[in-house]
Amino acid sequence: MALKNDPHSFSTIILAAGISKRMYSRTPKILYRILGKPMIQYVVDIALGLNCEEVIVVTGKNKNEVKKVLGKKVKYAVQETPLGTGDATKKGIVFATKPNILILYGDVPLLKNETISTMIENHFKENGDLSVLTCKIDNPAGYGRIVRDKNGKFIKIVEHIDANEKELKIDEINTGIYFGSRKLINDALFSLKTNNKQNEFYLTDIVHTLIKEKKKVIGFQIDNPDEILGINNKADLARVREIIKKKWFEELMLRGVYIEEPATTNIDLTVKIGNFVQIRPFTIIEGKTEIKDNSIIGPFVWIKDGIKKKIKL
């Protein structure tokens, strides 16, 4: 638990107000369940796992639906009109009370707690004003590039559309995840302009503002691009789901659960499984289900909340 007036304490703002047009769905993107757990819950759990005492979720018109899922353990801000990530962050920061701010995204559920924890530790060790999480990826097209000097010092972010031939070859990108002083971020946010074709407030512009003001901006690089995978469409959703499923199944099997055919088996994260259990092919286990010791489940079985369902063939 953070000490009162702890200068290292922070509020987390989770941006979750996007319209998600590319999902082609009536269900808000951040409420899609991945192995039984809502996407937004993964991100909230990242913040809570860092002992963050104040989590602020910025929603759009989907506030009531999000509130039903997350309840009272977080604060809510609303972005009524989609005016960009900078505007959404402004809506959230007015509710923040801690001296520092962590900015995350509701559709990036694979971040590891230790990644953010290490970034924050490095931020204070280096006496930074703002830390930018960066990553090297194979195909950086469309992303803002991180420009450093010959000593590796962070110089600037260049958007893809503005990059020259040399800068386009840079494979280190801006993830959009930031940590820094609430006061500096707040001041930078409220100085943002909409000087772009979309007429929106871009969160990235706070980095440019702080660099111009000679503040210490740190680029904290990670090497695993899976962590920063964002979900923009259902293909992305399936890709992220497979990564989470693989990790979950490995955990189960290392505990002694025998999953004969992982490719045809689905088990929610909410399922409790005992010892010496065997899961046969074409088995789906969902919800609040408990599998007792020495059980053999399947093949061709669907169990939800402990109740066996019919499988349509």
Active site residues: 22
Contact at 8 Å (CB) between 288 and 307?
Answer: no
* 3-state class (DSSP) for residue 136: strand
Nearest to 249 by CA among 222, 223, 283: 283
β-strands 145-148, 154-158 pairing: antiparallel
User: From its phi and psi, is residue 35 left (phi > 0), alpha (psi between -120 and 50) or beta?
Assistant: left
Is 101 buried (19+), middle (13-18) or exposed (0-12) by CB count in 10 A? buried
Angle between helical axes of 63-70 and 39-49 (0-180°, round to 10): 60
Which residues, including other chains, have CB under 8 Å from residue 56's CB and lie 6 or more apart?
11, 12, 13, 14, 74, 75, 76, 77, 92, 93, 95, 96
Is 188 buried (19+), middle (13-18) or exposed (0-12) by CB count in 10 A? buried
The dihedrals phi and psi of 290, each to the nearest 5 degrees, come to -125, 125
* 3-state class (DSSP) for residue 225: helix
Beta bridge partners of 59: 16, 78
In our burial notation (b when 16+ CB lie closer than 10 A, e otherwise), range 127-146 reads ebbbbbbbbeeeebeebbbb
Question: In the numeric block, which tokens belong to residue 131?
Answer: 């830390």
| Gyration radius of the chain's alpha carbons | 21
